[in-house]
Structure 1
Amino acid sequence: MTEARRNQGGGVQSVERTFELLELMADAGGEVALSELADKSGLPLPTIHRIMRTLVGAGYARQQPSRRYSLGPRLIRLGETASRALGSWARPYLAELTEATGETSNMAVLDGAQIVYVAQVPSQHSMRMFTEVGRRVDAHATAVGKAIMANLPPEAVTQLLTRAGMPPQTERTITTVEAMHAELARIRDQGYALDDGEQEVGVRCYAVAVPGAPAGAAISISGPEGRMTRIATDDVVPLMQRLARELATDLSVGNTA
């Protein structure tokens, strides 16, 4: 975060710096050294040490025996509550997507090295896809995960995949970092991600990222492969992109004090 951004809007500098450090810790996988925070934030070490000592005392960070700092357990409740709120914001947009396509729509966010589903509007078909809200899955085998990773810096993607591993869910799952980087380049070119039986045999899913979502988010539609192959991507992808942009705007307005 630049100094100009820290001071934008006349915010409280110490609060802005605190959240900047928490976000940097999350970007690093949840555990960092003070020197890493100093390099990435540009803040003086004494300032970082003072903020981290306060976060540790409040339970929002922990200091490991190695002297490195990790995110603390009190953040879990905040994250769970925020995910529920985000799901309620997304539901009207997902309802429009399901009405237009007839298939189940979802919203998911990146949490650490995994994808968490935070909202869903189910299809009315008797045979439909159902993913429980709150379910966690590996990012590499899902359309939502790939859509989110396509918006991350390549080094962050490599760290995420290396940390989480890339176990095969089906014979179609991408299982190497190199192949995933090639897939993410295609996603950036075509504007959407596809899960073609990579998470579950016989299931196809299209996803687009929600632009500018702080935690990394995506919306998707999913259904049986036979029905999904009849959906024209030229029709549904622009709709998903429009809804993702509108949701991003809605979230941005909702976050403006």
Structure 2
Amino acid sequence: MAAKAGSVQSLERSFELLEHMADAGGEVALSQLATVSGLPLPTIHRLMRTLVNLGYVRQEPSRRYALGPRLIRLGETASRLLGSWARPHLAELVDTLGETANLAMLDGDEIVYIAQVPSRHSMRMFTEVGRRVSPHCTGVGKVLLARLPNDQVKSLLARTGMPAMTPHTITGIRKFLAALDQVRADGYAVDEGEQEVGVRCVAVHIPGAPTLTAISISGPAGRMTDDAVQQAVPVLLRVARELGAEISYQESTA
């Protein structure tokens, strides 16, 4: 990887390695990093030792490398900032569609909710910001896993398992991959009471976000009818594009 004009090549390579580690679930061997990055092993070893010394990576007894604890503070701060950018867009979803709006991202092997604006209905859905859930049983999880190759999805779900949260949860990998094919064709995902009985959620991914991120609306199945879902999808897609453009602009001017 050649450094861009005015940039520091070793710094670019270090962040590239961190991103490869995150894509692999947070723990890798040097040989894996060499395969995906194309960098020589001595270069990777030198960069990883520096990251270990700084606390951004740790070395396990198995000699594999894992993301380190100093990244947590950076990630939490970045998530709060992204949540603050997203909140006006989520409020627009609530005003337009009437249901609770959520912002979530794929963090390692889990979905983490990073912002929410609740519905004004007395009966509404509430998910605590910071909550982590399995990706196979949520609308946001399905729409984000649909952005990954099937082999990567299989590896992730092999690590997490596919526990049945409700009678509607998809627990078979073949059926789940078929569902992801449908999500890719439709451009959105629906949680059919797979995380919580009686709750439906429709989600779309945010284009241009630096990590896999999605917005969704969720509500009681009695209000989230098929017609309501179809009316919500174009609104969600528009808001996702607007939020993605704002994030991309912030990155380009940083």
In structure 2, stretches of 5+ residues that fail to align are: none
Structure 2 residue 97 is matched with structure 1 residue 101: yes
Deviation of 1:63 (Å): 1.0
Q: 2:176 corresponds to which residue? A: 180
| TM-score relative to the length of structure 2 | 0.96
Residue of structure 2 in register with 1:111 after alignment: 107
Residue of structure 1 in register with 2:241 after alignment: 245
**Structure 1 position 234, deviation (Å):** 3.4
How far apart are residue 8 of structure 1 and its match? Answer: 3.7
1:18 aligns with 2:50: no
Query: How many residues in Structure 1 have an aligned counterpart in Structure 2?
Result: 253
Distance in 2 separating the partners of 1:140 and 1:230: 21
Find the residue that maps to 1:134 and give its secondary structure.
coil
Corresponding residue SS for 1:129:
coil
Q: Secondary structure at the match of 1:207?
A: strand
Match of 2:193 in 1: 197
Counterpart residue number, 2:141: 145
User: How far apart, in 2, do the equivalents of 1:48 and 1:181 lie?
Assistant: 34
Q: Distance in 2 between matches of 1:159 and 1:211?
A: 24
Tell me what 1:75 maps to. Answer: 71
- 1:12-71 deviation per Cα after TM superposition (whole angstroms, max 9, x unaligned): 211110000001111111111111111110111111111000000011111111111111
- Equivalence for 2:231: 235
In terms of mean alpha carbon deviation, does 151-160 or 103-112 score higher? Answer: 151-160
- State the distance in 2 between where 1:84 and 1:231 align: 33
Question: Residue 53 of structure 1 is aligned with which of 49, 60, 80?
Answer: 49
Q: Which residue of 1 aligns with 2:37?
A: 41
One-letter amino acid of the structure 1 residue matched with residue 202 of structure 2: Y
1-structure distance, mates of 2:226, 2:140: 20
Q: CA deviation at 1:212?
A: 3.3
Supply the distance in 1 between the matched residues of 2:148 and 2:131 (Cα, whole angstroms): 22
Output the aligned Cα RMSD.
Answer: 1.2
Amino acid across the alignment from 2:239: L
Alpha-carbon distance, 1:136 to partner: 0.6
The one-letter code matched in structure 1 to 2:148 is L
Deviation at 1:9, TM superposition (A): 5.1
**1:13, 1:123 → 2: CA distance?**
47
Q: Offset at 1:10?
A: 3.5
Q: Which runs of 5+ in 1 are unaligned?
A: none
Give the TM-score normalised by the residue count of structure 1.
0.95
Q: 1:170, 1:65 → 2: CA distance?
A: 38
1:215 partner letter: T
